[in-house]
Amino acid sequence: MKTQEELGVPVPANKPLIVRTIKYVTKEQREYALEKTEYSMFSFPADLIFVDFLSDSGSGTMTDFQWAALFHGDESYARNKGYYVLLEAVRDTFERGDDPKKAINLILTGETDVKRLMDELYITSYEGGFVNGGTHQLVRPNAFIVPQGRCAEHLLFSTIAPILKQKNKDITYYIPNNGHFDTTEANIVANGIKAINLFSENLLDDFPYNEMDRRNPFKGNIDVKGLENLIQDKGVESIPLIYITITNNTAAGQPVAMKNIKEVHKIAEKYDIPLFFDACRFSENANFIKEFEEGYKNRSILSIVKEMFSYVDGFTISFKKDGLANIGGGFFFKDRGVFHRKFSIDEDIGIKLKERQILTFGNDSYGGMSGRDIMALAAGLYEVIQEPYLNERKSQVREFARKLAQNGIPVILPAGGHAVYLNMDKFFEGSDMRLEDLGGVGFTIELLKNYGIRACELGPFAFEWDKKTPQQRKGILNLVRFAVPRNVYSASHIDYAVAAITELYHNKEKIPKVRISRGAELRLRHFQTGLQPIYND
């Protein structure tokens, strides 16, 4: 008889004990609301939607462990207890592998032994890693809590841009990535630096859906040859940082292989360039490495995460993703590592970053987060590396993609970690829909109007195809993303979505072209512009 693991269906990882009733809204009501909200996905009231795949960002369900932790939140202005718990959780998650200390339990179990609390939590000393502790964090700050991932990006790029100018004001700087997320790219560009996407060459290759459980080509990898060429071509001085996004959200949520991370690490080391992760979905990425990369089957998620992070010099992260929290972000870099050495010119770079953090978000012990959110986030870091959870999540996304593929829908395969992506070039193949007609946007409008399902275009509209040079346009894919929030939806939501998407696919000639009716020139415009679908009848 097969074991529970061999059944080919993941072991259930949780059970909901609280539910929210979805309102019954008619197509006519949604049609009215769409018209009144300029047909923008970002302006449509969430309460009127049946299934919301707009984003997995901060939209997940928290566990009972997190809600319990939340009650221990401490709203003190300076050095709230959650600050220490969170720093320990970050050390546990990214540096300690199979030996986490779980100091959070001191708080959750109501420890009253003051000496123990001081020795293990409040009066500790760490240096040499991603999170200095005690006076080392004061002298050489290297851990920055902020409300979101983009705040970490803003903090980083707005602080290093003037330093780069000071180093050499006459050159153009480039930051390569396996796929810049939209806010990352916008923060880089807003600070006068160029953002380069080096997608893996196999990204859009076909992949048979019945092999998704057997192998994975790690299409999220960075194009290593392209990276070497870029450095050679532009010169080492022009590349202040190299970024790897795990998983590669912009490239269809595809994972990055440990082998790829190691290769980039070697290149970064050779040229003495700091290598950073955009670490938003580190544990989902680690789970792909465990399942598909040779030599990792018997390793724990934590030990894989530790190895991944041993190859980088720092990371920005949105804890709203993998971290299972509703809010939170951070920036961490190696104490006295490459970044620290390269950017501490007149003054310690950590001190400069901290000054900016205080100016924009608040002092370093809360960074714009409430004490409650800090505790929920710290607890979430222990939940998100649990394998039953990761396996069930991964398989839900994979099933979503498999069912779409079985119905003939052009979905990018294999499925990524957090979302399913449709290839809209293929979706509209054979029709007169051109890239500039924004067919992906038209599709999302029809899906919301007819079936109450919200998805997100990540293509010529979101990535501003019309504002780019022919060279830059090569870095743009034409996708629609269905991001799956964590622990929110069940198979019935997925089945409803698959049926609706399939129906629209069979009626694609009814999908309208779309024009931008207001604010085409705005930056990050998919959050703010008005749209107008053009119906033929």
Ligand X SMILES: *Cc1c(COP(=O)(O)O)cnc(C)c1O
Give the Cβ contact number of residue 525 at 10 Å: 18
Between residues 40 and 184, which has the closer beta carbon with respect to ligand X? 184
Distance set, CA 468 to CA 222, 471, 475, 521 (Å) = 22, 8, 10, 12
In sequence order, what E strands does 183-258 have? Answer: 194-197, 242-245
By the rule CB under 6 A, 197 interacts with ligand X: no
The amino acid present at 400, given as its one-letter code, is F
Kindly give, in sequence order, each residue whose CB lies less than 8 Å from that of residue 308, ignoring residues fewer than 6 positions away: 246, 258, 261, 277, 282, 285, 286, 289
Side-chain-side CA neighbours of 502 within 13 Å: the count stands at: 15
Between residues 301 and 317, which has the closer beta carbon with respect to ligand X? 317
Side-chain-side CA neighbours of 262 within 13 Å: the count stands at: 6
Let me know: does 145 contact 374? Beta carbons within 8 Å. Answer: yes
Q: Are strands 479-483 and 242-245 parallel, antiparallel or unpaired?
A: unpaired
CB of residue 458 to ligand X, shortest distance in Å: 11
Position of minimal CB gap to ligand X: 149
By the rule CB under 6 A, 149 interacts with ligand X: yes
The single-letter DSSP state of residue 346 is S
Q: What does the CA dihedral 408, 410, 413, 415 come to, rounded to 10 degrees?
A: -90
Q: Which stretch binds ligand X (CB under 6 A): 144-152, 295-303, 344-352, 397-405?
A: 144-152
Over the window 45 to 64, marking each residue x when it contacts ligand X by CB under 6 A and - when it does not, the resulting string is ------------x-------
Q: Which of 30, 72, 150, 394 binds ligand X (CB under 6 A)?
A: 150
Q: Any bridge partners for residue 329, and if so which?
A: 146, 318
CB of residue 180 to ligand X, shortest distance in Å: 8
Over the window 278 to 297, marking each residue x when it contacts ligand X by CB under 6 A and - when it does not, the resulting string is x-x-----------------
Let me know: does 177 contact 278? Beta carbons within 8 Å. Answer: yes
By the rule CB under 6 A, 460 interacts with ligand X: no
By the rule CB under 6 A, 181 interacts with ligand X: yes
CB of residue 333 to ligand X, shortest distance in Å: 17
CB of residue 145 to ligand X, shortest distance in Å: 13
Residue with tokens 């104490």: 335
Let me know: does 327 contact 145? Beta carbons within 8 Å. Answer: no
Between residues 132 and 318, which has the closer beta carbon with respect to ligand X? 318
By the rule CB under 6 A, 389 interacts with ligand X: no
Let me know: does 271 contact 235? Beta carbons within 8 Å. Answer: no
Q: Which of 220, 226, 329, 417 binds ligand X (CB under 6 A)?
A: 329
By the rule CB under 6 A, 326 interacts with ligand X: no
CB of residue 228 to ligand X, shortest distance in Å: 24
- Interface positions, 470-499, toward ligand X (CB under 6 A): none
Q: Which stretch binds ligand X (CB under 6 A): 104-112, 180-188, 340-348, 527-535?
A: 180-188
Give how many residues touch ligand X by CB under 6 A: 15
Q: Which of 72, 154, 320, 340 binds ligand X (CB under 6 A)?
A: 320
By the rule CB under 6 A, 148 interacts with ligand X: yes
Residues at the site binding ligand X, with contacts judged by CB under 6 A: 57, 148-150, 181, 183-184, 245, 249, 278, 280, 318, 320-321, 329
